[in-house]
Copies of this chain bind each other. A is one copy, B any other.
Amino acid sequence: VSDRPHVVIIGGGFAGLYLAKRLKRAAVRVTLIDRRNHHLFQPMLYQVATAALNPSDIASPIRSILRRHEHLDVILGEAVRVDTNARTVHLADGDTVSYDFLAVAPGARHSYFGHPEWESAAPGLKSLEDAVEIRRRVLLAFERAEREPSASARHELLTFVVVGGGPTGVEVAGALAEIRRFALARDFRHIDPREAEVMLLEAGPRILPSYPECLSARAKAELRELGVIVRESSAVTTVHSDAVEVEGGLRIPTTTVVWAAGNQASPLLTTLGAELTRQGRVVVEPDCSIAGHPEVLVLGDAAWHEHGGAPPVPATCPGGIQMGQHAAKAILATIAGKPRTPFRYFNKGQLAVIGRGRAVADLGKLRFSGFFAWLAWALIHIAYLIGFRNRVLVMIQYAWAYVTFAHGARLITGETGEYAARIARGA
């Protein structure tokens, strides 16, 4: 086995996982490196942030998922540098891993457009830790408001601002509007959570810019029905710890901001020596490799793939999954001495969920919204939760939440003291 070609995969997201799965019966050794021990089902991450699901409902240890994959090693570690000449990956703890083929799929982080200092006041939503932190802030804001005698301070606490009108921003805004109206409505004595305001700020002229205009308008209407204030053409100019300032002079006092406005690819990519886009994504060849190094493939959100007259491959789960599957084919073709085929993205369409029974679906010629779009979303996403032992639990929790409006995952963990004190001080 040890003389088989060694395929190293950086990142256990959708691209890395589907690549590893496709190599299960191939005559290669595989090593998968990830900073986390779990694969995360990111499309449902906003549900953890809004206390509808628990972290473990949408995450599963990578070792468990790939347990039956005999010639595969999983390394819990952080890749910090790739040496494409020596064909080695350097880890944060000093170890190095040699490869014959390398797949780089480290995903992306949120970007603050040159203002990293905004992050503490406006956390993004990429990891389980991010989601639990946002949940903590949202729930603590209600707790503080319950005890706040000053009406203006109460108003500040009960204003939630979501920055960025892409699918994540729309999902978070819709979910916040719902927990305020349903799940939390009966929990407090001195405040009415239904009076909380949820604002969605989008810099461009319309939310869901990747969707057809009619669906953007539909999504906006659905959000308004839920009571979300949607403001387009409203780029954020400053984020303070107690307010957000918007182009044109609007200033919104708030202690809870969720950032869903921009992505920045992993800094690891700068060590590949390949051409990068402004967001730090690697401009890849038609077969997803980097120029001059067919043995190095870049996949998922880290790759910028624009070839054959097609639009660029979107930084979504289907994009990552298809790239991972393609990478397996490309590697096996090279081992077999055959030429590689170029990667072609097959666009199955896109779905964005807005709330309970509310979504928009863009399936090419078929465009629809409302309950059936939501049903399609729920079924597709649950079907994707393959290899997750808790698929059944998620469905039960879903059904339960749908019937009772209860949000059971409303735990505030971590130290409540410091952040609560910071809100109390108005700092």
Contact = CB atoms under 8 A, between A and B. Distances in A.
A256 interface: no
A400 to B, nearest CB: 8
A61 interface: yes
A254 to B, nearest CB: 20
Count identical subunits in the complex.
2
A390 interface: yes
Contact of A412 (B36, B78, B389, B417): B36
A188 interface: yes
Nearest to A186: B67
Contacts of A397: 393
A76 B411 CA distance: 12
Nearest to A37: B412
A63 interface: yes
A128 interface: yes
A135 to B, nearest CB: 11
Nearest to A136: B37
B59 A411 contact: yes
Contacts of A77: 147
Interface of A is mostly: mixed
Given A73-B189, A132-B413, A186-B67, A421 B93 contact: yes
Interface residues of A, number: 59
A78 B189 contact: no
A408 to B, nearest CB: 5
A272 interface: no
A416 B55 contact: no
B187 A78 contact: no
Given A35-B416, A95-B147, A393-B397, A64 B129 contact: no
Nearest to A147: B75
Contacts of A76: 140, 143-144, 146-147, 412, 416, 420
Given A78-B417, A147-B77, A417-B78, A37 B139 contact: yes
A56 interface: yes
A414 interface: yes
A56 B95 contact: no
A410 interface: yes
Contacts of A143: 37, 76
Give me the 7 closest cross-chain CB pairs, A-B, nearest first.
A63-B187, A76-B143, A37-B412, A54-B56, A61-B410, A389-B408, A38-B411
Interface of A: 35-38, 54-56, 59-61, 63-64, 67, 72-78, 92-93, 95, 128-129, 132, 139-140, 143-144, 146-147, 186-190, 389-390, 392-393, 396-397, 400, 404, 406, 408-417, 420-421, 424
